[in-house]
Amino acid sequence: MTCLQFKAKYLGLCAFLLLAGCAPFEGSLNDETASTENNLKYELSNCCSEITVLQRRLNLLETELDALHEEIASTSKTNSNVVKDRTNSIHNKVTSLETTTQKLINDINTVKNHGNEVSVAMQQCQKQIQKLEETNASHTGNIHNLDVAMRSLMDAVQYGMGNNTKAMASLNKTSSGSVYKVKSGDTLEKIARNHHTTIEALKELNQLRSEDFIIAGQELALP
C-alpha cells in the first residue's frame, strides 16, 4: 500500500466516523451495538495512533529521501568536477607528451641531417686525403729522382773538377813545379795569402768560376 492510498483510506474512515457520530440514533441501543461501537472506537484510536506513528516515519523517510537526493546531486557534481579535472589533467599531459615527442622527432631529424652532412664531409675529406697521398707519393718519387740527379751531377762536377785540376796541375807543374792540395777549412783567400798570391791569380790559373767552390783533397796549381 502506497502512502497516498493509506492517506485516502485514513481520510475516508475519519469522514465515516464523523458522519456516524453526528447521525441521531433511533430507539435505544442494545448492548451488542454499544459493544461494537466501543470496539470500533478502540480500533479507531489504535488506527489514529498507528497513523500518527506512520506519519512521523513517513516524514522521517521523506527527510532522509531529500537528504539522499541532495547527497546524490552533490556527489554527482563533485564526481563530475573530479572527472572534469582529471580529464583536463590527462589532456594536458597528452598535449605535453605530444609536444615533447614532436620535439624529439625534430631533434632526431636534425641529428640525422647533421650525420648525413658529416658523412658527406668525411667522404670528401677521404677523397682529398687520397689525392694528397697520391700527390705526396708523386712528389716523393720526384724528390727521389731529383736527389739521384743531383748526386749524379755532383759526381760529374767533382769528377770534372778533379780531372781539370789534375790537368792544370800537370801543365803548371812543368812550368813552376808548385801544387797545393786543398785541406778542410781552406778558402782561396787563405791559400792565396799563405802562398803570397791573389785570389784572381788562383782562379785564373785553375780556371775556377767561384772562389768558394773548392773541396778538400782538390789539387790547385800555384803561380
Q: Please check whether residue 218 is in contact with residue 165, taking contact to mean a CB–CB distance below 8 angstroms.
A: yes
More confident residue, 135 or 16: 135
What confidence tens digit (pLDDT) does each residue in 31-54 have? 777 788 788 888 888 888 888 888
pLDDT of residue 23: 46
pLDDT of residue 197: 92
More confident residue, 154 or 201: 201
Average pLDDT over residues 80-98: 85
Q: Give the whole-angstrom CA distance, residue 149 versus residue 139.
A: 15
pLDDT of residue 21: 52
If residue 180 lies in a helix (H) or strand (E), which one and from where to where?
A: strand 179-181
**Domains of the chain, CATH where assigned:** 155-221 (3.10.350.10)
Q: Model-level pTM?
A: 0.32
Cα dist from 44 to 20, 25, 100, 118, whole Å: 13, 20, 81, 107
Please count the residues of the chain.
223
